Amino acid sequence: MAKDLTKYDLIFIKENRTIKCLSKTNLPMKVFKYLIENDLLNNTHMKIFSKNTFGRTWKANYGDLLINNPNDEVRYKSFIAKGTTYYASSQWQIDTITKFNDYINKEFRDYIQINASKPINLDDLFSNI
């Protein structure tokens, strides 16, 4: 089975800006950081994200977003938001990141949107050479 290299664009609707071509590893961290820094996560959201809600197989007993250090720099990426260190899972398959993206797009549709990046056409890149 080939490795999935799909990239994602993270659109910040109210700020009219986009981060393009984020990997599955970096996307959840950027999403969580934005949601925390903008006070968009309530207790219900934190309970959802503190579990393996989207069915990841790596570290399946751990949540998607943690406050306590999981002591696993390979499968979690740390980030600081509002003075607190958080840990976002960095291990996602295409089916689990799709579930995550669908949830985010529905729950936070007024603030952020996640779309798959359009593939780069290599012919277009080299046509002016």
* 11, 114 Cβ separation under 8 angstroms: yes
Question: Counting Cβ atoms within 10 Å, is residue 65 exposed (0-12), middle (13-18) or buried (19+)?
Answer: buried
Residue spans of the domains in the chain: they are: 8-118
DSSP state of 52: -
Check residue 90 and give its pLDDT: 87
pLDDT at site 100? 93
Residue 83, pLDDT score: 95
Question: What average pLDDT does the segment 76-95 reach?
Answer: 91
Residue 2 has pLDDT above 70, yes or no: no
Which pLDDT belongs to residue 68?
Answer: 83
By the 8 A CB rule, do 55 and 96 touch? yes
* pLDDT single digits (tens) 22-62: 999 899 999 999 999 999 999 999 988 888 777 776 666 67
Using the structure block, give the residue that is written with the tokens 């952020």.
Answer: 112
Q: What integer is the mean pLDDT of 97-122?
A: 90
Q: Please, which pLDDT band fits residue 125 given cuts at 50, 70 and 90? A: low
